[in-house]
């Protein structure tokens, strides 16, 4: 039914086929000196109907959570509630200018303050900054905070960041952006960071140890308290990568584990949409001794003697505080990805503390249910009770049949499931990382389990059928080598 | 809670897992178990949530005041078609398009966005997006640092103060010096000392914004460009108001090597500061230093046109600490919004909107400078904002306007102590003649009051 190819928007329309959104305008030359005027603006003019068809067709060639299940490890692709979008789109919230005076922005500031305060309690931190735009941006923010903290202490020797071999790639990349060196820590036989390894690695040059818990194998770092103590004893700071925070809400708090700094991905744990790769939001939380270094601005609440209403922000007035001499400075043009703060706070209201606790419990249940339902057909390198995700390994399947983790992911696409995360974390060969989230029903999980089992059986009986996948998608496997060798990154009239 | 589990589901699933209860399933060592009750906002039903947020909305002013704010975030008309398409669930709830076979539509849209940015800036290539204008500047400067191996950068004081502040934050991490070029009497960058400053080849880049923070068109003169070229310095050009690209000579034509900017004006709300959408465009020469995601067009194994994330060897998940940047998640959906906006407006519509911005700004400027006591601070031609000198203090004037239901603009004294008597005022196609009339009348009243007080 669908045309397999949709011509680029630049090949459609006719010059002058304009939609009348504004009245006809006087020529630019009436207002600008001749030398400043642009003469060529080579953009296509399309009718609104053609624009609608174009982008509707593109949407139909795109998987989203709304259309398909994403068992995507480390990415927490949960349902994105529509009430959140409706609230973010309220004109009074959406059209508020970032330079609006504080007196005219009290509602927006109350939203930010309530969210900060809820996150701080939920994760055991003294304060949160909503400034960073995404997880990697938050890591950079946190490392700049650490750098400022050590500078203030006059401790210039600390230039090393310890990351376990299960870490996300952003961790070392962020470390490089503050001039820190990276020491990678090998996981032990239990898939965890061992206390001995930390004790050996941490020293007078240690600035920060970056970890996530549960780690990217989906395993709880059960010695985390002792690990944090060892890093602290060496004078370093503990950083919690919040990519896996969906596993532990209401159950265990990074602050209680000994983390000094952390970030959250609101586009993972707090249900804001991924939007095809952003915008995200990466609030950074800190323990009390790091609060002065948070990026500017912070939302300051003027306390009143007694709250006048049922909610914490009622009866308080708020201000954006830029006057913070020890701050690392701002990380972005304006204060936060605010529309996402609206969404995240709405999500907190939809759950409350008990609901968020339940969210994490059921996320863990869903992941364990899948693991327990496929472990007879594929290797589970760390076959124990996992948290919100787990890893399987297609190594023995590959050895026996030639079918790789990559192929299994592609075969899932044919059956209407997004591929799991594959080849990450790096320490598990032919790794398949599955995270179902709590918003999927048992029936959906059963369907996925059946599809995965069918593929694992097909891999042994008819491996070529898996290697040839996908065949039911808009395109077959894509020639990535050609894309990289002959970069075609924009449309041009001569090449089409 | 958005969890579909019935008690029976939970029981059956626990049985498969072989654990007696949910509490057993998530048990952690006592030392790290939650003990105290958590102080999270209370759980509400959806209808109560809507009421709660209506309350927040009632505590903000958007719409209740005439606003002349711009300064890096611009209120423009957004045709409903933009939201109707962008909010389709396939786009909104999609993951990063790593699985190309099921992401062809989104990948093509990003390829089209890259093309739009390239066409608008006149540069060869653009990336899939970065967080916003300020981080685009920081990342663009890092490209120049890597290209030249130098450890300093020279930035015009007429570049957006928030962008400069973010650049300093990033530079602090990299131990890079950020020096500043003054602005001249007409509000453009003062380049008289530029050649001397560049002579020792210390600077990786010169950073100039056009239209600059004062609204002034600030494309560098030829002599300045010659000094930049002869010292093998790179020119980073900032565009904080992307709509201006439809009307003004594009960055590539005034010699920019790395064009960075903010695309919020293309269909994205001001949204109290985000999410907005940063862009980076550059030359073929600098392509492999560009941060973040890039979509390329290629073929599938059956020879059909296909789109895919490409040149990933630059990126953090492959190169780790050697990546061109740590950026991972970017602003894809905001870029999609911008792409749809640009497709709907087309060249004709975009030029018309830009012309209306020029016209309304000229009208605003004429109206407010006709009031005795008020004058334009800088003479250079502008796009859709300008600095207005007021009698007395800008902060006082803005307070007085606010009492009259008007947000008159930005107090420039907040960033430039020497401009404490200046307001940065913006007009777009949404600014009405009636609003301009009310502002002019209010300014006249304020001036009279000021005279009466003094």
The full set of domain ranges for chain A reads 9-60, 83-350, 357-481
Q: What is the mean pLDDT of residues A297-303?
A: 90
Window A:9-38, CB contacts with B under 8 Å: 9-10, 13, 15-19, 21-28, 30-33, 35-38
Chain B residue whose CA is closest to A97: B272
Q: Please tell me if residue B7 touches chain A, with a CB cutoff of 8 Å.
A: no
Q: Residue B424 domain-assigned?
A: yes
Per-residue pLDDT tens over the stretch A227-236: 999 999 999 9
Contacts of A396 (CB under 8 A, 6+ apart): A379
Question: What are the structure tokens assigned to B8, written together?
Answer: 């029976």
Could you give the dihedral angle defined by the CA atoms of residues B224, B226, B230 and B234, in that order, rounded to the nearest 10 degrees?
A: 60
Bridge partners of B125, per DSSP, are: B282
Q: What is the pLDDT of residue A496?
A: 57
Chain B residue whose CA is closest to A346: B49
* Contact yes or no for A277 and B128 at CB 8 A: yes
Q: Kindly list the distances between the CA atom of residue A43 and the CA atoms of A153, A306, B110, B211, in Å, as whole numbers in the listed order.
A: 55, 58, 16, 21
Q: What is the pLDDT of residue A173?
A: 86
Assigned CATH for A83-350: 3.40.640.10
Instruction: Give the nearest partner residue to B163 out of A63, A64, A333, using CB atoms.
Output: A333
Window B:397-416, CB contacts with A under 8 Å: 398, 402, 407, 410
The neighbour count for residue B207, using CB atoms within 10 Å, is 28
| B19, B53, B411, B415, best to mutate vs chain A, most A CBs in 10 Å | B53
For A204-226, give one letter per residue: b (16+ CB within 10 A) or e: eebbbbbbbbbbbbbbbbbbbbb
Shared-domain flag, residues B367 and B272: no
Work out whether the CA dihedral A324, A330, A335, A336 comes out positive or negative: negative
* Contact yes or no for A104 and B60 at CB 8 A: yes
Shared-domain flag, residues B334 and B363: no
Give the count of Cβ contacts less than 8 A between chain A and B. 719
* Contact yes or no for A44 and B346 at CB 8 A: yes
Which pLDDT band holds residue A311 (cuts at 50, 70, 90)? Answer: low
Per-residue pLDDT tens over the stretch A246-286: 999 999 999 999 999 999 999 999 999 999 999 999 999 99
Shared-domain flag, residues B87 and B70: no
Q: Please tell me if residue A170 touches chain B, with a CB cutoff of 8 Å.
A: yes
Shared-domain flag, residues B337 and B443: no
* Contact yes or no for A43 and B58 at CB 8 A: no
The neighbour count for residue A495, using CB atoms within 10 Å, is 8
Window A:210-239, CB contacts with B under 8 Å: 220, 222, 224-225
| A173, A341, A361, best to mutate vs chain B, most B CBs in 10 Å | A173
Residue A308 in this model has a pLDDT that exceeds 80: no
Question: What are the structure tokens assigned to B415, written together?
Answer: 């960033």
Within 8 A of B114 by CB-CB distance, chain A residues are 489-490
Name the percent of chain A lying above pLDDT 90: 90
Chain B residue whose CA is closest to A256: B32
* Contact yes or no for B101 and A474 at CB 8 A: yes
Shared-domain flag, residues B212 and B84: yes
Window A:97-116, CB contacts with B under 8 Å: 97-101, 103-108, 110-111, 114
Within 8 A of A37 by CB-CB distance, chain B residues are 247-249
Shared-domain flag, residues B293 and B420: no
- Helices A442-461 and A338-374: crossing angle in degrees, nearest 10, is 50
Which among A73, A63, A5 is positioned nearest to A366, based on CA atoms? A73
* Contact yes or no for A339 and B18 at CB 8 A: no
Shared-domain flag, residues B233 and B305: yes
Q: What is the pLDDT of residue B452?
A: 66
* Contact yes or no for A276 and B336 at CB 8 A: yes
Which among A64, A55, A67 is positioned nearest to A6, based on CA atoms? A55
* Contact yes or no for B248 and A175 at CB 8 A: no
Window B:53-112, CB contacts with A under 8 Å: 53-65, 67, 69, 71-73, 75, 77, 79, 81, 83-85, 87-97, 99-106, 108-112
Q: Residue B27 domain-assigned?
A: no
* Contact yes or no for B96 and A178 at CB 8 A: no
Which pLDDT band holds residue B12 (cuts at 50, 70, 90)? Answer: very high
Q: Residue B9 domain-assigned?
A: no
- H runs (alpha helix) in A100-152: 106-123, 135-152
Residue B73 sits in a domain whose CATH number is: 3.90.1150.10
Q: What is the pLDDT of residue B454?
A: 60
Which pLDDT band holds residue A1 (cuts at 50, 70, 90)? Answer: very low
* Contact yes or no for A348 and B41 at CB 8 A: yes
Q: What is the pLDDT of residue A165?
A: 86
Shared-domain flag, residues B388 and B400: yes
Instruction: Give the nearest partner residue to B105 out of A62, A87, A372, using CB atoms.
Output: A62
Provide the shortest C-alpha distance from residue A129 to chain B (in Å): 15
Residue that finishes a domain, picked among B301, B316, B341: B341
Provide the shortest C-alpha distance from residue B370 to chain A (in Å): 18
Contacts of B372 (CB under 8 A, 6+ apart): B444, B447
| Domains: count for chain B | 2
Q: What is the mean pLDDT of residues A131-146?
A: 96
Mean pLDDT estimate for chain A: 94
Q: What is the pLDDT of residue A213?
A: 95
Q: Please tell me if residue A315 touches chain B, with a CB cutoff of 8 Å.
A: no
Within 8 A of B96 by CB-CB distance, chain A residues are 274, 276-277
* Contact yes or no for A224 and B32 at CB 8 A: yes
Q: Please tell me if residue A260 touches chain B, with a CB cutoff of 8 Å.
A: no
Window B:181-220, CB contacts with A under 8 Å: 217, 219
Q: Is the ipTM of this complex over 0.90?
A: yes
Q: Residue B441 domain-assigned?
A: yes
Q: Please tell me if residue A7 touches chain B, with a CB cutoff of 8 Å.
A: no
Topology of domain A357-481, CATH: 3.90.1150
Window B:116-155, CB contacts with A under 8 Å: 116, 118-120, 124-126, 128-129, 131-135, 142
Shared-domain flag, residues B70 and B113: no
Residue that finishes a domain, picked among B304, B319, B341: B341
State how far the Cα of B415 lies from the Cα of B214, in Å rounded to an integer. 12
Within 8 A of A138 by CB-CB distance, chain B residues are none
Which among B162, B219, B226, B154 is positioned nearest to B188, based on CA atoms? B219
Q: What is the pLDDT of residue B317?
A: 73
Shared-domain flag, residues B293 and B263: yes
Residue that finishes a domain, picked among B319, B341, B363: B341
Instruction: Give the nearest partner residue to A358 out of B3, B46, B355, using CB atoms.
Output: B3
Shared-domain flag, residues B430 and B409: yes
Q: Please tell me if residue A286 touches chain B, with a CB cutoff of 8 Å.
A: no
Question: What are the structure tokens assigned to A320, written together?
Answer: 């954006």
Within 8 A of B89 by CB-CB distance, chain A residues are 64-67
Q: What is the pLDDT of residue A2?
A: 44
Within 8 A of A310 by CB-CB distance, chain B residues are 42
Q: What is the mean pLDDT of residues B162-182?
A: 96
Task: Determine the structural domain holding residue B428 and report its residue range.
Answer: 66-77+347-453
Strand ranges (E), A205-283? 206-211, 237-240, 261-263
Per-residue pLDDT tens over the stretch A69-111: 999 999 999 999 999 999 999 999 999 999 999 999 999 999 9
Shared-domain flag, residues B316 and B367: no
Instruction: Give the nearest partner residue to B77 out of A21, A220, A418, using CB atoms.
Output: A21
Chain B residue whose CA is closest to A489: B296
State how far the Cα of A278 lies from the Cα of A67, in Å rounded to an integer. 18
Q: Please tell me if residue B284 touches chain A, with a CB cutoff of 8 Å.
A: no
CB A212 within 8 A of CB A163: no
Range of weakest confidence among A3-17, A476-490, B18-32, B64-78: A3-17
Which among B218, B199, B210 is positioned nearest to B239, based on CA atoms? B210
Residue B269 sits in a domain whose CATH number is: 3.40.640.10
* Contact yes or no for B299 and A482 at CB 8 A: yes
Q: Please tell me if residue B15 touches chain A, with a CB cutoff of 8 Å.
A: no
Per-residue pLDDT tens over the stretch B363-409: 999 999 999 999 999 999 999 999 999 999 999 999 999 999 999 99
Which pLDDT band holds residue A3 (cuts at 50, 70, 90)? Answer: very low
Q: What is the pLDDT of residue A358?
A: 97
* Contact yes or no for B103 and A413 at CB 8 A: no
Q: Kindly list the distances between the CA atom of residue B94 and the CA atoms of A52, A419, B294, in Å, as whole numbers in the listed order.
A: 19, 13, 17
Per-residue pLDDT tens over the stretch A403-437: 999 999 999 999 999 999 999 988 899 999 999 99
pTM of the shown model: 0.97
């Amino acid at each position: 039914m669908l045309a397999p190819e949709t011509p680029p928007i630049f090949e459609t329309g006719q010059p002058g086929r304009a939609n009348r959104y504004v009245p006809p305008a006087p020529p630019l030359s009436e207002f600008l000196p001749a030398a400043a005027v642009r003469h060529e603006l080579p953009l296509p003019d399309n009718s609104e109907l053609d624009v609608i068809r174009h982008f509707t067709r593109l949407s139909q060639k795109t998987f989203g959570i709304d259309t398909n299940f994403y068992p995507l490890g480390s990415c927490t692709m949960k349902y994105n509630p529509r009430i959140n979008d409706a609230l973010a789109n309220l004109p009074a919230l959406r059209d508020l200018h970032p330079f609006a005076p504080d007196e005219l922005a009290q509602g927006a500031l109350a939203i930010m303050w309530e969210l900060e305060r809820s996150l701080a309690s939920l994760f055991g931190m003294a304060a949160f900054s909503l400034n960073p735009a995404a997880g990697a941006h938050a890591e950079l923010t946190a490392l700049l905070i650490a750098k400022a903290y050590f500078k203030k202490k006059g401790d210039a020797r600390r230039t090393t960041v310890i990351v376990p071999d299960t870490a996300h790639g952003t961790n070392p990349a962020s470390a490089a952006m503050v001039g820190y060196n990276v020491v990678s820590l090998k996981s032990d036989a239990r898939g965890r960071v061992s206390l001995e390894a930390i004790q050996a690695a941490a020293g007078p040059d240690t600035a920060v140890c970056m970890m996530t818990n549960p780690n990217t194998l989906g395993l709880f770092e059960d010695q985390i308290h002792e690990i944090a103590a060892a890093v602290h004893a060496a004078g370093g700071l503990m950083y919690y990568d919040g990519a896996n925070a969906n596993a532990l809400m209401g159950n265990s708090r990074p602050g209680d584990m000994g983390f000094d700094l952390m970030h959250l991905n609101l586009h993972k744990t707090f249900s804001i949409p991924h939007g095809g790769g952003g915008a995200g939001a990466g609030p950074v939380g800190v323990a009390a001794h790091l609060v002065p270094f948070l990026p500017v601005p912070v939302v300051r609440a003027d306390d009143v003697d007694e709250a006048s209403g049922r909610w914490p922000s009622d009866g308080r007035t708020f201000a954006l505080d830029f006057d913070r001499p020890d701050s690392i400075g701002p990380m972005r043009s304006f204060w936060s990805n605010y529309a996402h703060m609206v969404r995240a706070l709405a999500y907190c209201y939809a759950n409350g503390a008990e609901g968020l606790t339940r969210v994490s419990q059921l996320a863990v249940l869903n992941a364990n249910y899948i693991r327990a339902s496929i472990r007879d057909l594929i290797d589970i390198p760390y076959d124990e009770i996992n948290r919100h995700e787990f890893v399987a390994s297609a190594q023995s399947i590959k050895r026996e049949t030639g079918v790789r983790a990559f192929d299994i992911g592609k075969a899932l696409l044919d059956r209407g499931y997004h591929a799991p995360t594959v080849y990450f974390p790096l320490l598990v060969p032919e790794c398949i990382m599955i995270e179902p989230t709590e918003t999927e029903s048992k029936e959906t999980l059963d369907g996925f389990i059946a599809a995965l089992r069918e593929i694992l059986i097909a891999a042994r009986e008819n491996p070529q059928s898996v290697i040839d996948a996908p065949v039911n998608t808009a395109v077959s496997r894509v020639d990535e080598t050609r894309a990289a060798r002959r970069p075609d990154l924009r449309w041009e009239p001569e090449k089409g | 809670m958005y969890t579909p589990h019935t008690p029976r589901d939970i029981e059956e699933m626990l049985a498969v897992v072989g654990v007696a209860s949910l509490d057993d399933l998530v048990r952690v060592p006592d030392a790290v178990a939650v003990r105290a009750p958590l102080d999270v906002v209370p759980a509400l039903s959806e209808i109560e949530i809507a009421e709660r947020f209506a309350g927040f909305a009632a505590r903000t002013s958007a719409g209740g005041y005439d606003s002349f704010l711009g300064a890096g975030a611009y209120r423009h008309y957004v045709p409903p078609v933009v939201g109707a398409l962008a909010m389709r669930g396939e786009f909104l709830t999609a993951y990063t398009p790593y699985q190309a076979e099921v992401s062809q539509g989104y990948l093509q849209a990003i390829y089209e966005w890259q093309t739009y940015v390239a066409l608008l800036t006149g540069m060869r290539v653009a990336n899939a997006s970065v967080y916003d204008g300020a981080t685009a500047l920081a990342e663009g400067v890092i490209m120049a640092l890597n290209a030249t191996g130098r450890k300093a950068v020279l930035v015009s004081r007429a570049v957006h103060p928030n962008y400069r502040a973010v650049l300093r934050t990033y530079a602090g991490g990299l131990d890079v010096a950020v020096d500043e070029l003054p602005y001249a009497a007409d509000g453009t960058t003062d380049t008289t000392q530029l050649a001397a400053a560049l002579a020792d080849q210390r600077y990786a880049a010169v950073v100039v914004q056009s239209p600059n923070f004062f609204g002034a068109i600030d494309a560098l003169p030829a002599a300045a460009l010659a000094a930049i070229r002869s010292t093998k310095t790179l020119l980073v050009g900032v565009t904080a108001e992307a709509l201006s690209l439809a009307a003004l000579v594009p960055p590539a034509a005034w010699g920019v090597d790395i064009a960075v900017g903010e695309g919020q004006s293309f269909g994205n709300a001001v949204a109290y500061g985000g999410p907005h959408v940063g862009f980076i465009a550059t030359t073929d020469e600098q392509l492999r230093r560009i941060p973040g995601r890039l979509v390329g067009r290629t073929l599938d194994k059956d020879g059909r046109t296909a789109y895919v994330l490409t040149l990933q060897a630059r990126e953090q998940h492959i190169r780790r600490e050697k990546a061109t940047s740590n950026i991972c998640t970017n602003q894809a959906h905001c870029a999609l919004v911008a792409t749809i906006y640009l497709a709907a407006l087309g060249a004709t519509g975009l030029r018309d909107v830009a012309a209306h911005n020029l016209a309304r700004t000229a009208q605003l400027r004429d109206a407010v400078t006709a009031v005795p006591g008020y004058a334009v601070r800088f003479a250079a031609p502008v796009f859709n904002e300008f600095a207005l000198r007021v009698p007395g203090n800008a902060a006082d004037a803005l307070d007085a306007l606010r009492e009259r239901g008007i947000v008159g603009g930005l107090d420039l004294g907040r960033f430039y102590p020497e401009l404490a008597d200046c307001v940065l005022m913006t007009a777009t196609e949404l600014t009405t003649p009636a609003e301009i009339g009310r502002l002019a009348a209010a300014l006249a009243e304020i001036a009279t009051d000021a005279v009466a007080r003094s």
